[in-house]
Amino acid sequence: MATPTTVTSSQLPEAANTPSHTLSASTFKRLHPQAYLERFFAEGYRPDGRKLSDSDDAWRDVKVNLGSVSTAMGSSLIRLGETTIVCGVKAETFEPDLYTPTDGCLVPNLDLPALSSPKFKPGPPGSEAQLLTDRLDRVLSHSSILPLSSLCIEKGKSAWVLYIDAVCINYDGNVWDACLLAVVAALRNTRLPVARWDDATGRTICSRTETVPLQLGNFNPISSTFGVFSSKTIFPDPTSFEEPLLGSTITCVLLQPLSSSNTDEKKTKAKVLFLEQSGLGGLSVGNQAVGSEAVLAGGQLTSKPLLEERGPELTVSADKEANKIQGIT
């Protein structure tokens, strides 16, 4: 019988005795996400390939589809990179408040379900969903996109209430910008039944065949969100990987005029509606002014192009300097 041979550690190949200190990119990303991001920033790039210093490649592509929910009176589907939002608008009649007899009502809601990302848990709306819903309500209330008086059917007796429900079906960061764009697109796709108040029955009678579009204002609220990393780097449209590593985020909502044909220059300029910084981090003193200018310039680039009717399908071209939105009217 052959005698078994015992192999000692000194007899093993040198490579086998040397521990490996080389990590794959995916492993390094999971174990050291901040260092992983810093290495990309040091080279002037972001992990998804976008350049830090190139405004032509600052935002991810946007795709919009209108009328995607057949059971809603108006709807849209938005994709900002891989972040996907579906928004539907439904309407009911109600008796307006005694103090605002000619005003209708808007009830927005954003749902961030567990199926959209592992960061969200099943159950009642989380803090992020509640915060963004409240922000959406404030933006709609203070913008001129839909005057509440346009929802009046009969003064003091009947008006429309619009339920605007946005649902995130895939979360890859910057859900607020995508949500606001989805809501604006859905409202511009909404048509309400022709309605009248019947004094004889004391009820609102709605037509089954005739519909009318909403009487929307001449401005669109368009949002641009920026991330601040290590108090010195600011960049737009953060992804779900970048968001947890940010010291803070800066959100700027501009009211972009629908048409620049008006000769009055003051009426055609975008107006700042909302500017908010979230988080405890900030920009270093040397970059503070640059950061503020970048926020305003980025918002103008996002909302720069005119909105033209192109049917149910809307796309954003690869020219991200203007981040062109075509078709929302």
**d(C-alpha 325, C-alpha 256), whole Å:** 12
pLDDT score, position 141: 92
Chunked into runs of 10 residues, the chain (329 residues) has average pLDDT values of 46 44 77 87 89 78 92 96 97 94 96 93 92 95 91 95 97 96 96 94 92 91 90 89 92 81 56 83 48 49 39 37 34
CA 28 to chain centroid, in Å, comes to: 30
Q: How far is CA 100 from CA 156, 196, 197, in A?
A: 8, 19, 18
pLDDT score, position 274: 86
**d(C-alpha 131, C-alpha 116), whole Å:** 17
Q: Which two tokens stand for residue 295?
A: 């926020």
Question: According to DSSP H, which parts of the chain are helical?
Answer: 14-17, 25-31, 33-42, 127-142, 175-189, 265-268, 285-303
> Are the beta carbons of 270 and 288 closer than 8 angstroms?
no
Q: Which two tokens stand for residue 12?
A: 């093993």
Give buried/exposed letters for 173-204 (b at 16+ CB in 10 A, else e). bbbbbbbbbbbbbbbbbbebbebebeeeeeeb
pLDDT score, position 305: 32
pLDDT score, position 292: 46
pLDDT score, position 67: 93
Can you list the domains of the chain with their CATH numbers? 33-217+306-315 (3.30.230.70)
Q: Which two tokens stand for residue 46?
A: 């972001």
Strands annotated E in 230-270:
233-236, 248-257
What DSSP state is assigned to residue 6? Answer: P
State if pTM tops 0.75. Answer: yes
pLDDT score, position 256: 83
H/E stretch holding 46 reads none
pLDDT score, position 318: 30
